[in-house]
Amino acid sequence: MNADIIQFPTPLGRLLDGGDPPPFEVINADGSSQMLLICDHASRRVPGQLGDLGLPASEFNRHIAYDVGAEQITRNLSKSMDCRAVLANYSRLVIDLNRPPGHPESVPQISDGTLVPANQQLTEDQLDQRVDTLFNPYHEAVSHSVAHLWNRGPAPVLFSVHSFTPHFKDQPRPWDVGILWKHDPRLAVPLMERLSGEGLEVGNNEPYSALEMAYTIDVHAGAAGLATCVIEIRQDQVADQAGVARWSEMLHRILTEILTDANLYEAREY
């Protein structure tokens, strides 16, 4: 590690001040659908106390800071399908909500070749502060939302919206979209079939595998036997409003059809 790295010590008081939004946003809280939408990497925002994390502004336009297009697709689906949605309000560079605390990628010191100055040599208290301030409230909001839907009706469905960079470490990623899932095929398999029917190159647990890491859906759905999966859309497909609109309409149409299957609304072990 470079001994000349500038340190950005985090005060051990409140990480968020009066000018910062809360750690998460819940939209369409009274939506009628039994599908819950979540977006772990919706935002590239950083708490005011952490400034720019020591990074140039250009880094916050990259996938290392947030999932391009994922927030707006989540908002569009929440409205068109009348679903409750929970969106993260801070960048994955501050803390990655889809990794367990303590994981090497939870508070990344280096992300896709970019050193993050404000994440170097943090104390355990400073790491705990990010967990307590940003990670825990978001996951509590997801837990509360799952319970809200389950209390009022059958077992809910959890759908997590992400996007991925077309290239990683100089390796091209040919898939238009990937579906990440483990053992429960109820949502993932029909979704892959219908996306393939749209003429898309669909990755089955690509470019990442939920068999290796899918923290949020594991905790909030998999452990309870709820139907769930992650969608990963290649970012060049949703880099502008036309792409976002195309994917929002297509997913609305496909998911509306899939969600008519009553088998989705049961807690099952696989």
Q: Per residue in 203-258, pLDDT tens?
A: 999 998 898 889 999 999 999 999 999 999 999 999 999 999 999 999 999 999 99
Whether the CB-CB separation of 197 and 190 falls below 8 Å is answered with no
Mean pLDDT of 123-133: 96
- Looking at the domain assignment, is residue 3 inside a domain? no
User: Burial level of 52, CB count in 10 A (0-12/13-18/19+)?
Assistant: middle
Is position 255 within any domain?
yes
Residue 168 lies in a domain: yes
Averaged pLDDT of the chain: 93
Whether 10 is in a domain gets the answer no
Domain annotation covers residue 16: no
Helix (H/G/I), strand (E/B), else coil: 204: strand
- What is the domain count for the chain? 1
Residue 8 in any domain: the answer is no
Left, alpha or beta for 267 (phi > 0: left; psi -120 to 50: alpha)? beta
Residue 216 placed within a domain: yes
- Cβ atoms 250, 80 nearer than 8 A: no
Structural domain including 129 reads 24-264
CATH number where 77 lies: 3.40.630.40
Residue 6 lies in a domain: no
